[in-house]
Structure 1
Amino acid sequence: MVRLNTFLRAFTHEGAPSRQLPPVQALQRTLMSCLLWEDQFYEDGIAIADRIKSLVPQVEPREVAQLAVRAREEMKLRHAPLLVAREMARLPQHRALVAETLSRIIQRPDEMTELLAIYWADALGPQQQRKRQPVSAQVKKGLAKAFPKFDAYQLAKYDREGPVRLRDVLFLVHARPKDAAQEAAWKQLVDGELASPDTWEVALSAGADKRASFERLIAEKRLGALALLRNLRLMQQAGVPRATVAAAIETMRTDRILPYRFITAARHAPDFEPELEQAMLRAIKSYARLPGRTRLLIDVSGSMFASLSAKSEMTRADAACGLAILAREVCDEVEIFTFSDAVVKVPPRRGFALRDAILGSQPHSGTYLGRAVKEVDRNGDRLIVFTDEQSHDPVPSPRARGTIVNVASYQHGVGYGPWTRVDGFSEAVIAWIAAQEESSRGAPLH
């Protein structure tokens, strides 16, 4: 008689032993770093999206809704939470929470049209494409609750050409305006009469002088922080005075900007590194501190240098560097190491100097996380690892309080057992570590 092994073994893409996660943990792992339909180093975007679809029915409805909200509000992800809401709408037990969830996760007008595009993307073949699937009542209710969030300027800014327009959403859901002014704006939207938004895209596409347009938008505080970061090089090329741009960086809001975006901006506009570094560090001042001695271990293997998306030059290494810069600021005592084929200690510099030390520390090759943990995890209060969890070798249990920050969406990883794993590359992961330690102060370490 052959005895079957009932334990289903799993491995990372590089061969380290892993484990099958419970569905709720698997959904969190896949969702929290997911830029929907974007390929990652080892998995394509379609496979990742399909895994999300398969996991939603296996997870308790309230937990699914909470993960979707966390992905939007904490991790700043836009499309993946919409896919979760669409999958919830298919399921009788989950459907009751769809309206509530959508009203939370829709934070830009175009997310309403993107949700419907996802909803209708299942149609196969010409006949089905011409006949859109009826939208569920809960989805309509959620969109109706979200629509009044947005003023005329926001509606005009995000009313873009496409198979689904904002007026289509309004006709579909029959939302109720908050007041007469909003009712008038909605009528203008329907009639195509909303005033063109005063944005840099509109100003430049209209043929206006680039320098004059940027100077006016900065002076009138109409250039948002993300738009400012994205256009630094273009403003330099247009001849905008350096002092004008520097002043805009110094006064920009940083509360919704992820650390790695400053790294990318500095790569394209290195002349503004001092101002960008100060803006990045300014956002960290309010963070809770991590007392005691901390060791940071940063993955610089080859897979960390794949782009986050097809249209982005940002990499997971950028995300890890941003988080390391942030962690460096909130740790009382810190030692910093990188790992790939080797383990290298880097000086605990601040800001972009730390980024340079991390990226230039060693060649970007294999992923020997287990070996690195054995070498680095000595005396100390905590060990924090930033990685995509695709190790060649088994990863031992930590001696100190061990946290693995997973910056990818791969199905299998290594941050299990006594490790605490945090999924995602938002600045929220560092705040979460501090909050977890504060709540468990006095509890024995693993």
Structure 2
Amino acid sequence: MKINAKATIKDKAVKLAGGFGLFAAKNSPEAALRRAVMANLLWEDNAYQDGKSIADTIKKLIPKTPPEIVYQIAYDARHIQKLRHVPLFIACQMTRHQTHRPLVGKLLSKIILRPDELTEFLALYWQEGKIPIAKQVKKGLATAFLKFDAYQLAKYNRKNTIKLKDVMFLVHPKPKTNEQAQLFKMLADNTLPTPDTWEVALSAGQDKYQTWCRLIAEHKLGALAYLRNLRNMQKVGVPNELIYQGLLSLNTKKLLPINYLSAAKHAPDFNDILEKMMLQSLANLPKLSGHSVFIVDVSGSMNSRVSSQSNMTRLDCAIAMAILASGLCETITLYATAGNDYTCIHQTQKLSNRMGFGLGNVILKAADNLGHGGIFTRQCLEFIQNDLQRQPNYQKPERLLVFSDSQDCDRVQKLPQPFANNNYIIDVSAHTHGINYQGVWSAEISGWSEHFLRFIAALEGMTLPLDDNQT
């Protein structure tokens, strides 16, 4: 994933925080597209912008952005940010433009990682009415179809309006082996074997205790399903020792930092191992040397839920990413900030340092005291710089990380002045405008993935081990 392109200074036609705050940075089409995509759960509302308007913005930005860049943004959103729907939406919109259409076949073959994404793409493609399927779409869907085995096809062979066999009949994937040809015939004839999933087993009335124990022992649970069912396993008496063993065997590559935090909230008995698993994603990365200053935005908009289907908030995302960063940075100083919307004055508090999930608890406590108002980035930075400079043997920090949704409420139209050698905004929202002013920040990085730390390390000139997503 590429770090967001810098914006030009100000867009005086747009104010942040619902039109009441600081003038937004003027984004290039590429920068705006990255902002809109990298923390986007398609159609979900943000604090100051509804999901439909964000989707409409993405539509408008795609033809203004070079096709190769759009391709890479969609690829990064799927493989690095681990988002499912918005990459499909981008691919769908690329088919509408002659300049972008030639890359659609290759893109679909790369971003479709589950069988149900085949049908979800066609649902998006036909959302505004049925139209002929473009050649590139057929090519991409047919190639993607060949990835899946009998278990995967059976697991996602649902009775939706568009079914897997409908996609197969429309795009005609060519089987590579006789076994695959037989598999496609079973899909067409509705004779695929019933998949051995936890949903099927429990809905069939099987004993819950025995079912969970068997599925754990046979490694039949995906990582996300496992984390989401920790409490259910405990409720029916599955031994904690067995649950621990299962956790250690999971393939966690597709998990986001927030998934561990969510699991810990619902099953606190497993906090220690969940914290260890979360930090393990950084095991191969070099330490970020020197003094790092963390600023976590605890303003009211950070309490917005990331999805109508989730109780997790933007603040939870920021906390998860701050926990990860604290595990990689050599030394840190931690602050939380919000403010008063009426007086337009910041409220910033220095917090005690903690490691792991303990850091999150410190931030949540500060949010209770400081939260509910907006963020005033310039004032906050001035306060923190003065606070640090009063310390004995003060030295300029190596890096500054602001974990925020960038919806600055300051009505005094002065730009923030970050003061470290390297200054980053880690933006956890999908708002199409923010405070990534050109020449002010080293970089803005959007999204919720642990990979933001790889980007920082790379930007600071460190040699990194190869990542699974590097091609």
TM-score, scaled to structure 2: 0.88
Match of 2:370 among 360, 363, 376: 363
How much identity, in percent, do the aligned residues show? Answer: 44
Q: Show structure 1 runs of 4+ deviating over 4 A.
A: none
- After TM superposition, the structure 1 = structure 2 runs for residues 155-166 of structure 1, keeping only pairs within 5 Å, are 155-166=153-164
C-alpha distance in 2 between matches for 1:305 and 1:313 = 10
For residues 94-140 of structure 1, give each alpha carbon's deviation from its aligned partner in whole angstroms, at most 9, with x where no partner exists: 111110111111111111100000000012xxxxxxxx211111111
Secondary structure of 1:33's counterpart equals coil
What residue in structure 2 maps to residue 204 of structure 1? 202
CA contact (8 A) 2:77 2:83 kept: yes
1:36/1:49 contact within 8 Å kept: yes
Offset of residue 354 of structure 1: 0.6
Structure 1: gaps spanning 5 or more residues:
1-5, 124-131, 442-446
Give the Cα–Cα distance (whole angstroms) in 1 for the partners of residues 60 and 317 of structure 2: 28
Q: Deviations over 1:39-81 (max 9, x none)?
A: 1111111111111111111111111111110111110011001
1:44 partnered with 2:50: yes
Match of 2:290 among 283, 289, 292: 292
CA distance 1:439–1:219, change in 2 (3 Å): closer
Aligned residues: 428
Q: Which of 96, 105, 113 does residue 102 from structure 2 map onto?
A: 96
Q: Which moved more, 1:284-293 or 1:315-324?
A: 284-293
Question: In structure 1, what is the Cα distance between the partners aligned to 2:51 and 2:101?
Answer: 26
What is aligned with 1:376?
384
Contact 1:61 1:94 (C-alpha < 8 Å) held by counterparts: yes
Q: Is the 8 A contact 1:328 1:348 kept in 2?
A: no
RMSD: 1.7
Say if 1:199 and 1:180 are closer, same or farther in 2 by CA, change over 3 A: same
Question: Is the 1:384–1:405 contact (alpha carbons within 8 Å) kept by the matching residues of 2?
Answer: yes
Q: In the alignment, which of 118, 121, 125 is matched to residue 127 of structure 2? A: 121
Determine if the alignment matches structure 1 residue 432 to structure 2 residue 443. Answer: no
User: Is it true that 1:412 corresponds to 2:418 in the alignment?
Assistant: no
Offset of residue 302 of structure 1: 1.3
Asked whether the 8 Å contact 1:371–1:395 carries over to 2, the reply is: no
Give the CA deviation at 1:20. 2.3
Q: Quote how far apart the aligned CAs of 1:259 are.
A: 1.1
Q: Partner residue of 2:407? A: 390
Pairwise mapping of residues 338-353 of structure 1 onto structure 2 (< 5 A)?
A: 338-341=336-339, 342-353=347-358
Kindly indicate whether residue 17 of structure 2 is the aligned counterpart of residue 9 of structure 1. no
Give the structure-1-normalised TM-score: 0.93
Paired with 2:436 and 2:104, the residues of 1 have a C-alpha distance of: 31
Return the offset for 1:256.
2.2
Question: What is the CA distance between 1:395 and its match in structure 2?
Answer: 4.4
Q: SS at 2:99's partner residue?
A: helix
Partner letter of residue 445 of structure 2? Answer: V
SS state at 1:358 partner: helix
Alignment of 1:108-257 (within 5 A): 108-123=114-129, 132-257=130-255
- Give 1:249 shift: 1.9
Separation in 1 of the partners of 2:205 and 2:463?
58
Would the aligned equivalents of 2:215 and 2:221 in 1 still touch at CA under 8 Å? yes
Retained in 2: the 8 A contact 1:294–1:331?
A: yes
Distance 1:204 1:347 in 2: 45
Deviating more after overlay: 383-392 vs 253-262: 253-262
Whole-angstrom distance in 2 between the partners of 1:237 and 1:15: 48
What is the CA–CA distance in structure 2 between the aligned matches of 1:345 and 1:24, rounded to whole Å? 36
Counterpart Cα distance in 1 of 2:70 and 2:57: 14
Separation (CA, whole Å) in 2 of partners of 1:27 and 1:284: 28
Q: Which has the higher contact order (CA 8 A, sep 6+)?
A: 2
**What are the ranges of 5 or more consecutive residues in structure 2 without an aligned counterpart?**
1-9, 340-346, 389-395, 465-471
Asked if structure 2 preserves the Cα contact closer than 8 Å seen for 1:373 and 1:395, the reply is no
Cα deviation 1:156-205 (Å, max 9, x = unaligned): 11111211111011101111112111111111111111111111111111
Equivalent-residue separation in structure 2 for 1:67 and 1:390 (angstroms): 23
User: Do structure 1's residue 20 and structure 2's residue 26 form an aligned pair?
Assistant: yes
The question of whether the paired residues in 2 share the 8 Å contact of 1:11 and 1:19 is answered with no
Are 1:99 and 1:142, in contact at CA under 8 Å, matched by a contact in 2?
Answer: yes
CA contact (8 A) 2:11 2:26 kept: no
Higher mean C-alpha displacement, 13-22 vs 337-346: 13-22
1:122 and 1:92 mapped to 2: Cα distance?
19
